[in-house]
Chains A and B, each alone.
Chain A
């Protein structure tokens, strides 16, 4: 009996892993392609230290080892020069990508779902960060952090986790409640990618829980264009995707202005929460290219560090 159930479970896991493995390459490839198109300078410490990239030449001093002399530069001048490299300190970045049912939405067949776009952005960001030598932590759907890791393997593992989660949201019923209680390494940067449509109190609670670790944070709101403009007509019964209920709207075109106002108010609320925590807030629409969002996000992170 027990053996049988174990065998069942392992079988189920294997099936899920198969699904995940099937999804992994396209996700990773898409993310890598986007990341490769974003060419940014390295965001080093802006001071000499152990690192890969050139920082400055300075005259040789007695403390320097002869191996550090840059002979090519020295040959041009009378002074002996030493080549210094920029110090790159590995930063820990915690990434969280909202995969709740409300993210599983697209208004048109031609647009990706918000979850797809968020996943790709998260992976592309992870790819960029890992390329820059940072360490990443993946916050799972229920808020548990993974071990900090660096290198391509970390991105692959993160993609694996995301795929598994997506597969789970497809099969399992209610997702585990999101709570960020496990502490993160101090001063780690936090990136949250979501539609942030849940009530403001919930968002404030989550950000408060994460912000107490002292790290900087970035919120990226991924929205479908239809959520922005409510382009529907007629008598519609709007059903929420997270069992929050339904609303019957008699004339959607009449309700549009109200909706847009409410959405703006909600977004202001999120932005305020972010600012109070000292975090940044950006909006991305699924009909725009993901590169722009990635560049913006990446620059926000590097500029903060500067």
Chain B
């Protein structure tokens, strides 16, 4: 290693090669440039030149300098130059204390980067180092030793954040074991969360100088996401609230955190933001979560904050199960506090999806648990159905009652004795009975027993040998209170009391809620229960959280835990957070409940330098820059060599032109692809013809290019415009020609015309796709085009204009064409007509069927009656063409047809009721 000021070469041996450069210089000077080959007719004249002139050309000095520079850059680059911010020549051992708890996971990369930087620097100085992690590992690490920094680097690469809290007391012991004797530099990369034995570690660190504390950046405090609480908003919609805390000292930058609810596939089901102001260390995330959505949630976490503390797993207990309450209360009296189902409903509503109704309604949809609130018998007709439902995994919960007397039906877990039993009544010697602790075989065995539960009346079971195993809860005298029997996949459970406070005060206690919840809990997966109904003792770990809050397969050190251990919420190496139990009945153990007392570190080692992770001085390696510069010089040299070897300058120039024009094109492309530039461009000015058509309504006709046809169309429409002005209120300006060959014709240019007359000529080419699209758009927007192909009787088919018409129609997007019926609105829109005669009368008229967007108004009229020719008049107001066969009377009808067309274009289906005129008249006269 070689240091020049703050510049350090990591591989200084390469620099020795710089000594060779002068030799290279000489060699490069001597080597003649490459021989060019040149075809030359007069080569003969150059044969046998006098030897004095065979002086070898030298490589130009600047080229030699370039090449030497290239070599030097490459060599310096290979020597790994590194700029160190602060170079210390300390040779004392370096002790890095690294917090790798859950709280360190969020900025783990920068922590590891800092650790590596520190160790690499120590390695360069040949210092010994030790790395002490403060979080106890599942498998105890060997005691730390002072090792060459290179070996410590390898150790550091294997360190991961662990999903539990630090034990800095243990770390202090390990530090003590190093026996540094007060000699050495200490660097504590801390997560900022106080833990056990901090004072001992701090005391030990204070023995070392210099000491540095590298703390998280401001605003990057550790986050704790508390387990979700379900609630309901006033409208009864499900809501989930999660507390979010940040473990940071007093002043902390304001920040906003996004809390997400995630389902099994990783979709974000709900996301809410918790904003925290300066000095605020907690907040609540409220999420709207309808039951069907919230049942899919498997985890909650904080976006962009991968840490086990900010991750909450939801197990199968979390997922709501549909619960039904069958009310057989047929007397119709509604007395809320005496209603059988009231207490069950109140108990389960926040936790489960409760439905009520009769059995038929309830069983018509999937149901996990069915409560039969009023004690009574199941009707024979329903017995079979309920039995099958229980066999398939349903849980039937029944309550005793006055009507449940003896073995009324088979859907009971135990045989009941006839008649009930009362305690503590006015005529009884006995006091009301109390609950005994839950038996071990009961799923309620871990529940706390409130002392004030009293049972006044119960039904009794016939004593049978299996009664104890069927008993889930009993009274102090041993009589069962809750019995259950497995039936196939499901359970039949009987409360030996009523669901109302009549027989006991159990429905009034919190225990009732817990009991019902547990029943609902076991409903989805009962595999944790063995055949006899006892809870399996140990739950195997299914998936465990790592420090980043990701679920991983349990490692070798994971061991099964019992349910009671899980409820203790003590998370540590022995019992990491994660999911326990079988896959369909998991129990989640979360880290955050054990972090209730997490607080920022209050005291720091005295005299320590404090820096944050972002401010840790980084080293800058210059190797890539040097090598890139060398490569650039190499490319330049290559180009120069090509030039000198006779790559013709014109080729080079052309290549350069190509490159520059490509660059220009690219620039133009970039410029024009700038969407905003295109958007902000002002709209193209409206051309004069279009603006005239907008200012004065007028008819339009398509220019075919055939002067005769165009003249007829213009004269015809002009005459029709006069007729319209004389007879109707449609006073329009002179018709305008429309040239389809105009560049950039769009529907906007067509839209001012209410009607466009298109006299098709055989010579006309079908419109281009762009024009056809414009025409289609015009028609879809409600325009009307009259196609006239006046060359033969049938407008469709044939050759000539008809064939051309078909070709044109093929290019336009149209609804199907149908023959115009005699009662079409076109024949009623102004005059009452029998057809649409023109110069001829024998052509069949087609119209399109109309679409819903155009209100059923046809947008094309296709015919061959040569209307324009019938309308056309010359300057002396004389007709241009004879109308056959009807003469002038037919011409008048042709004008009427034209008026109808224009009226149809202007008014649409306004006159469609005229179609029904005969019927209306008939009705009026009656």
Contacts and interface: CB of A to CB of B under 8 A. Distances in A.
B35 A236 contact: yes
B37 A237 contact: yes
Given A195-B41, A240-B44, A247-B43, A258 B53 contact: yes
Contacts of A248: 35
Contacts of A251: 53, 55-57
A98 B56 CA distance: 37
Contacts of A197: 41-42, 44-45
A121 to B, nearest CB: 17
A109 B650 CA distance: 9
A41 interface: no
Contacts of A232: 38
20 contacts: A105-B41, A197-B44, A199-B44, A224-B41, A234-B644, A235-B34, A237-B35, A237-B36, A239-B40, A240-B44, A244-B43, A244-B44, A248-B35, A251-B53, A254-B53, A255-B46, A255-B49, A258-B50, A258-B53, A259-B45
Interface in B20-55: 32-50, 53-55
B46 A241 contact: no
A37 B36 CA distance: 42
A259 B47 CA distance: 10
A305 to B, nearest CB: 33
B650 A249 contact: no
Contacts of B47: 245, 247
Interface in A219-278: 224, 227, 232, 234-242, 244-251, 254-255, 258-259, 262-263, 266
A102 interface: yes
The 7 closest A-B CB pairs, nearest first, are A240-B43, A102-B41, A247-B46, A238-B43, A238-B40, A262-B45, A236-B36
Chain A facing B: main interface SS: mixed
B807 to A, nearest CB: 42
Nearest to A246: B43
Interface residues of A, number: 35
Contacts of B650: 109
Given A105-B39, A224-B41, 16 more contacts: A197-B42, A227-B40, A235-B33, A235-B34, A235-B56, A235-B57, A236-B37, A240-B40, A241-B39, A241-B41, A244-B43, A247-B46, A247-B47, A255-B46, A262-B45, A263-B42
Given A240-B44, A259-B45, A250 B39 contact: no
B181 to A, nearest CB: 74
A239 B49 contact: no
A235 B43 contact: no
Contacts of B32: 235, 250
B42 A245 contact: no
Contact of A254 (B35, B36, B55): B55
A239 B53 contact: no
Nearest to B52: A254
A227 B42 contact: yes
Contacts of A235: 32-36, 56-57
A236 B41 contact: no
A237 B37 CA distance: 5
B43 A250 contact: no
- What class of interface size applies to chain B in its complex with A? 20 to 34
Contact of B43 (A199, A239, A263, A266): A239
Contacts of B56: 235, 250-251
Contacts of A227: 40-42
Given A247-B46, A251-B55, A238 B33 contact: no
B39 A239 contact: yes
A245 B50 CA distance: 18
Interface of A: 102-103, 105, 109, 114, 195, 197, 199, 224, 227, 232, 234-242, 244-251, 254-255, 258-259, 262-263, 266
Interface of B: 32-50, 53-57, 644, 650
B131 to A, nearest CB: 64
Contacts of B48: 247
B57 A238 contact: no
A109 B644 CA distance: 19
A237 B42 contact: no
A197 B45 CA distance: 9
A246 B35 CA distance: 13
Nearest to A227: B42
Q: Which of A197, A234, A244 has the most CB of B within 10 A?
A: A234
A240 B39 CA distance: 6
Contacts of B34: 235
A59 B435 CA distance: 170
Contacts of B50: 258
A99 to B, nearest CB: 13
* Listed residue (A227, A242, A250) with the most chain B CB atoms within 10 angstroms of its CB: A250
Contacts of B54: 250
B38 A237 contact: yes
A118 B283 CA distance: 98
Nearest to B644: A234
Contacts of A239: 37-40, 43
A234 B43 contact: no
Nearest to B34: A235
Contacts of A237: 35-38
Contacts of B33: 234-235
A133 to B, nearest CB: 37
A239 B47 CA distance: 10
Nearest to A100: B41
B42 A247 contact: no
A103 B42 CA distance: 10
A164 B39 CA distance: 24
B55 to A, nearest CB: 6
Contacts of A244: 43-44
Contacts of A242: 41
Most buried by A among B36, B41, B46, B48: B41
Nearest to A109: B650
Contacts of A102: 41
Contacts of B57: 234-235, 250-251
A15 B867 CA distance: 63
A62 B712 CA distance: 83
A49 B839 CA distance: 84
A118 to B, nearest CB: 13
Nearest to A247: B46
Contacts of B46: 238, 247, 249, 255, 259
A247 B44 CA distance: 8
B44 A249 contact: no
Contact of B49 (A105, A114, A249): A249
Given A109-B650, A250-B56, A240 B38 contact: no
A247 to B, nearest CB: 4
Nearest to B50: A258
A105 B41 CA distance: 7
B51 to A, nearest CB: 10
Contacts of A258: 49-50, 53
A171 B33 CA distance: 36
A245 B44 CA distance: 8
Contacts of A263: 42, 45
Nearest to A105: B41
A85 to B, nearest CB: 48
A206 B645 CA distance: 40
Contacts of A250: 32, 53-57
A224 B50 CA distance: 25
Contacts of B43: 238-241, 244-247
Contacts of A262: 45
Contacts of A266: 45
B40 to A, nearest CB: 4
A265 to B, nearest CB: 9
Which of B33, B38, B55 has the most chain A CB atoms inside 10 A of its CB?
B38
B608 to A, nearest CB: 70
* Residue of B36, B37, B45, B47 with highest tally of chain A CB at under 10 A: B45
Contacts of B55: 250-251, 254
B248 to A, nearest CB: 74
Q: Which of A103, A227, A236, A263 has the most CB of B within 10 A?
A: A236
